[in-house]
Structure 1
Amino acid sequence: MQQKARVIYDMAMILLVMVTILTLWVEHTVNSTINLIVWIVFLIDYIIRIILADNKWQFIKKNPFLLLAVIPFDQFFQVARIVRLFYLFRIKTITKYYVTPYIKQLTYTKKMLLLLSLPALLLVETIMIWKMGNKLEFWHEAFFVVFQHLFIFVNSLESINHFPSILLLTITSIFGVIIQGLVLQWLFDKLEDIWHKRKQIFSSTKSGG
């Protein structure tokens, strides 16, 4: 029951992230209010996690970017582009924080299936967005938009004006964070493996000497 509640809670937080991403698509006065409310929710969540952590300093050291994400740096700047960069950093960091535990639970087979299915999923999404009446004349233009959203949160309002397309691209951005998490986890595992092997070789050499 507790595990189920945790999953529901994490999904709700990711949903809030999606709402924040959607605000990047539209220039509206309500956007700042939405971002403020979402930031307050994440700040409260962060504070509670620190309070409940057995080793508070260890939690902070383990999640340095999460700390930076909840600090309202965007309030100190009036330049829209700089504020947007802080929003993007916050969105990506928080998304990664809530998604990473579930990535770690995936088996190697599931991870490989996820990565191998990516090209087909991107192709299907590309065709859907291309056919949805957006300002995209060629399919490769749609693919470029999808590819952008897979790795960075961007605003493609000049070419995307169909709300279902915006939702698809928002989901793609979240999915992109998952893919990046898988790649980073694989990279860190490899580096850790190399480190342990070198350490063993060094220890063996030292013992033999």
Structure 2
Amino acid sequence: MGGRGASSGLTKKSSKSNRDMMSEFRNAGTIVVDKEVKNLNSVLVDKTLKGVRDTLNEFGLPLSVVTGIGLSLSNDAEASANGMGQLGFSSKYYSSSNNEFTPSDYTADYTAYGTGTHEAGHLISNYLMRKSNSSLTKFQQAKLRTSGKWDRNILKQAKKINGGKLSAISKYGSNTKGKAAGEVVAEAVSEYMKKGKSASSTSKAVVQALKSYV
């Protein structure tokens, strides 16, 4: 769960800012698979990691929520996050262009930074699920996550907070049923990080519901 679709690119030269950004996660205990990320475009990787960092900070959570950084197993999306707290970049990050991702209204924030805030939404939701269900075995937690039940529960709480209704956040974050509920949660977090107080009432309600578990 947790890939976000879009297009495009990063440089193969590593920059000081990217090394510093990576070092923030390393210092927090995140395992970085250097052989997998060393040739990725550092400019967009940096922006994406800043999106993750800022979102975790907003929720008052440590960077160690991200347990690992490497390549994604899927190339259908720019990045992905799994239930174990691992963040993966797709092969789209091998591009030599430093240009932002192609503008699109499909997601709440199409930028590289927005990719980070979206994936952070998945990472946060998964982390809080494990924290709130610590009595379950890891296998049971995995089943709970992949079923989408946890994210649907977050949306049910958000619906109550928002006066009994939820609106589509984006084309990508519009289906609250089944496993797709996780994308609504992640898109809500992403829109909230982009717009703050100007975010939709749905996004603010989802964020409030998540924060109740922090």
* Normalised TM-score (structure 1): 0.32
Structure with bigger strand share is 2
Q: TM-score, normalised by structure 2?
A: 0.32
Larger Rg: 1
